[in-house]
Amino acid sequence: MLEVKDLRVNYGAIQAVQGVDFTVNDGEIVALIGANGAGKSTILKTISGLLRPKSGTITYEGTRLDKLSAAKIVAAGIAQVPEGRHVFAGLTVMENLKMGAYSAPKTQAAQLTAVFEQFPVLQERRHQDAATLSGGEQQMLAMGRALMAKPKLMLLDEPSMGLAPLFINKIFAIIKAINATGTTVLLIEQNATQALQIADRGYVVANGKVRLSGTGAELLANPAVQSAYLGG
Ligand code: ATP
């Protein structure tokens, strides 16, 4: 479904991504794990068209994404849930969700029903200002907003960041549930244990390169991964 080949991305003189290759197959959950500053967010932002690569290719269902605008990439079926959530404060929960459907107005009503089934709390709070939600609820809103575009591939940037443990478990369970309804997921996380527990496959990113890859279970059992990323 998604193929990233020899991707290189710079910020001026800083080579943040230095020749990364990976794939995401239809229906999978794939996790990119690695320390702060490894290049994970840069990879995700380049896939969603917020950054342009210096070289390399990103191909999604046969189409080169690395030349498309961010809006065209959303229209192609890819939605990103940004790090830090970025819900629109001053707008209600409902208004935030509708913003997510701008590229898919025809399916808005059906998607709203699906989002409320997945996140009952958003239905309860639909008239509330998004800024008044807790961090975990804002994460749910950001995910719900992305789902409003009816994506085939969802990109999640650090969904568990800054959340209480109870909410972290909930968010990972929801990611699994979203995947079970047919949405492919590419997830980046510093919470490597839980990310690999739900992932079909994972890639370890360090200093702008992929250092290791395998199934979620293989990476969880790998001593090098355990000592560097799983606190073991
Ligand atoms: P984090 O979890 O902190 O987001 P990450 O693995 O996602 O880490 P990136 O944010 O992709 O890492 O950063 C990769 C490298 O690029 C780091 O060295 C970082 O300092 C640098 N970098 C990121 N954003 C910028 C920017 N806007 N300008 C300059 N350098 C940047």
- Are 54 and 101 contained in the same domain? no
The CA dihedral of 87, 50, 20, 58, to the nearest 10 degrees, is: 110
Residues 143 and 226 in one domain: no
Query: Are 13 and 128 members of one domain?
Result: no
Residues 120 and 228 in one domain: no
**pLDDT value of position 127:** 97
Q: 134 CA to middle of ligand 1, Å? A: 26
Distance CA 8, CA 18 (A): 5
Number of domains in the chain: 2
Please name the residue ranges forming H helices in 129-213: 135-147, 165-180, 192-198
Provide the pLDDT for residue 232. Answer: 59
In this structure, the answer to whether residues 147 and 157 fall within a common structural domain is no
Residue 215 and residue 111 in one domain: no
Q: Which of 151, 168, 197 is the last residue of a domain?
A: 151
Range of the domain at 116: 86-151
Distance 43 CA to ligand 1 centre (A): 10
- Give this complex's ipTM: 0.93
Q: Are residues 146 and 44 in the same domain?
A: no
The response to whether residue 42 sits with its C-beta less than 6 Å from ligand 1 reads: yes
Tens digit of pLDDT at every position of the chain (232 positions)? 999 999 999 999 999 999 999 999 999 999 999 988 999 999 999 999 999 999 999 999 999 999 999 999 999 999 999 887 789 999 999 999 999 887 777 778 888 999 999 999 999 999 999 999 998 999 999 999 999 988 999 999 999 988 888 889 999 999 999 999 999 999 999 889 999 999 999 999 999 999 999 999 999 999 999 988 877 5
**71, 9: one domain:** yes
The residue whose CB lies within 8 Å of the most ligand 1 atoms, and thus the one to mutate among 7, 10, 11, is 11
